[in-house]
């Protein structure tokens, strides 16, 4: 178990547990900055886990009987296995989980009701829709993997520290590295959800009996989620995508440059994550101001990503998108967010495509997503 520079008695509680059980190993980040679970997960796996198999298991989860046994039935090298979550309706419903509220605070956890629910729903096929198989293809915590498979791709990417999108990133990399994803519907976990840093201090998690999340997140969480979303886009070229069973969908990663006329700092901020490099036409834009503001939010070198237009230098890129920033609207900006899929579906080498305000020169359709399997920028 890892403690992230807590000041609420958690570390003292963990030490008591470790003293009573020699199988429990504990680690504390001494601060003063929080590392977040993006870093701490890897510390536990690399420095503390001594077995061949590891599992990412959050502190807001309750392992139902035989969860580990059912997961291990499907685990082998090159496979990642997830349990099925039972959780209160804090998040939207989906076919990959079971929404039932057995409490979202430890003090209100209805453990016996959960056990009765599982007992009454046996055999397992009665717990879920009849058209689902014993296993489906998807991934989310808790997930188990061979330690060597986790380490072979470099674990979690520190680009997303302290948290947010690190899971979607590593799931993409699992798929690209050829790992098979299995969710077992015979092993369950009750997930209280969002018991880390997401809620405002002192906020009632279940106000007036209603379970929901909107407007209760901390400013810290919202800001970090915003940073991680922008870094995910820089790395992958798209938003997080997955099918209804939570299997990642990974569009191709292309080398795309934007050549932008009449750019402003506001538009530069919106555009920069969506390309490999952006060339701005106006020398009066102070790129240094943007870099000074944004560099602290990313491990990418922004000086290498933002250039004043050097004419033919932009031809060094595979895809060149030219447009007038003064004509960008919310509607046509959406085209840029879907450009990878557009190029995948209809792009042709040595072709010039036109859409709305955008002229797109395609010099190459080489893709680079497999270069992202091992973490690092």
In terms of domains, do 130 and 60 share one?
yes
Structural domain contains residue 20: no
CA distance 184 to 239: 27
pLDDT band at 376 (very low <50, low <70, confident <90, very high): low
If one counts every other C-beta atom within 10 angstroms of the C-beta of residue 252, the result is 18
User: What is the domain extent for residue 360?
Assistant: 256-372
Residue 87: closest CA among 163, 140, 126, 134? 140
Structural domain contains residue 250: no
pLDDT of res. 91: 80
Give the phi and the psi of residue 46 in degrees, each rounded to 5: -75, -35
pLDDT of res. 126: 47
* Bridge partners (DSSP) listed for residue 99: 87
In terms of domains, do 66 and 106 share one?
yes
In terms of domains, do 261 and 307 share one?
yes
In terms of domains, do 74 and 207 share one?
yes
Mean per-residue pLDDT for 6-24? Answer: 95
Mean per-residue pLDDT for 199-215? Answer: 48
Both structure tokens of 145: 């993997």
Give the phi and the psi of residue 351 in degrees, each rounded to 5: -110, 150
pLDDT greater at residue 207 or residue 323: 323
In terms of domains, do 193 and 313 share one?
no
> By the 8 A CB rule, do 20 and 46 touch?
no
Structural domain contains residue 201: yes
CA distance 120 to 312: 70
Element (H, E) at 181: strand 180-191
In terms of domains, do 144 and 260 share one?
no
In terms of domains, do 80 and 119 share one?
yes
Q: What value does the mean pLDDT of the chain take?
A: 89
In terms of domains, do 310 and 222 share one?
no
Q: What is the DSSP string of 200-236?
A: PTT--SSGGG----TT-B-HHHHHHHHHHHHHHHHHH
pTM: 0.91
In terms of domains, do 203 and 284 share one?
no
Residues 47-78 have pLDDT tens digits of: 999 999 999 999 899 999 999 999 999 999 99
Structural domain contains residue 3: no
Residues 280-309 have pLDDT tens digits of: 977 667 888 999 999 999 999 999 999 987
Provide the CB-side half-sphere exposure for 330 (13 A, CA).
0
pLDDT of res. 16: 98
Place of tokens 């969480």: 221
> By the 8 A CB rule, do 210 and 101 touch?
no
Of 236, 270, 291, the domain-final residue: 236
**Total domains present in the chain:** 2
- Cβ-count burial of 84 within 10 angstroms (0-12 exposed, 13-18 middle, 19+ buried)? buried
Find the CATH number of the domain harbouring 175: 3.90.550
Residue 323: closest CA among 340, 310, 336? 336
Structural domain contains residue 302: yes
Strand order in the sheet with 351-355: 306-308, 277-280, 256-261, 319-324, 358-362, 351-355
In terms of domains, do 172 and 281 share one?
no
Mean per-residue pLDDT for 2-18? Answer: 95
Place of tokens 């296995």: 81
pLDDT of res. 175: 98
pLDDT of res. 130: 53
Structural domain contains residue 278: yes
Of 202, 236, 270, the domain-final residue: 236
In terms of domains, do 227 and 273 share one?
no
In terms of domains, do 213 and 272 share one?
no
Structural domain contains residue 218: yes
What does DSSP assign to residue 244?
A: T
CA distance 314 to 276: 11
Per DSSP, the three-state class of 153 is: coil
Structural domain contains residue 182: yes
pLDDT band at 211 (very low <50, low <70, confident <90, very high): very low
């Amino acid at each position: 178990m890892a403690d992230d520079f807590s000041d609420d008695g958690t570390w003292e509680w963990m030490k008591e547990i470790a003293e009573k059980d020699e199988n429990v190993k504990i680690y504390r980040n001494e601060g003063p900055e929080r590392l977040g679970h993006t870093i701490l997960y890897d510390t536990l796996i690399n420095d503390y886990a001594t077995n061949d198999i590891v599992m990412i298991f959050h502190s807001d989860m309750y392992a139902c009987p035989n969860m580990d046994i059912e997961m291990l039935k499907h685990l082998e090298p090159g496979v990642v296995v997830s349990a099925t979550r039972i959780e209160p309706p804090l998040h939207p419903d989906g076919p990959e989980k079971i929404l039932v509220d057995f409490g979202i605070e430890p003090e209100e956890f209805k453990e016996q009701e959960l056990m009765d629910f599982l007992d009454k729903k046996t055999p397992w096929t009665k717990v879920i829709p009849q058209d689902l198989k014993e296993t489906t293809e998807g991934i989310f915590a808790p997930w188990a993997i061979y330690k060597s498979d986790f380490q072979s791709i470099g674990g979690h990417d520190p680009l997303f520290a302290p948290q947010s999108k690190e899971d979607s990133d590593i799931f993409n990399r699992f798929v690209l590295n050829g790992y098979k994803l299995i969710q077992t519907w015979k092993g369950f976990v009750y997930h209280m959800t969002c018991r880390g840093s997401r809620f405002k201090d002192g906020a009632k998690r279940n106000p007036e009996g209603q379970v929901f999340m909107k407007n209760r997140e901390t400013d810290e969480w919202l800001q970090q989620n915003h940073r991680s979303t922008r870094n995910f886009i820089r790395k992958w070229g798209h938003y997080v995508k997955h099918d209804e069973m939570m299997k990642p969908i990974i569009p191709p990663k292309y080398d795309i440059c934007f050549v932008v006329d009449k750019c402003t700092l506001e538009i530069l901020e919106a555009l920069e994550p969506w390309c490999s490099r952006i060339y701005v036409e106006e020398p009066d834009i102070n790129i240094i101001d943007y870099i000074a503001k944004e560099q602290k939010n990313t491990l990418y070198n922004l000086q290498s990503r933002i250039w004043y237009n050097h004419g033919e230098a932009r031809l060094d890129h595979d895809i060149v998108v030219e447009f007038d920033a003064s004509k960008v609207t919310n509607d046509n900006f959406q085209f840029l967010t879907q450009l990878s899929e557009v190029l995948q579906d209809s792009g042709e080498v040595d072709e010039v495509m036109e859409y709305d305000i955008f002229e797109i020169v395609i010099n190459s359709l080489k893709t680079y997503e497999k270069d992202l399997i091992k973490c690092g920028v």
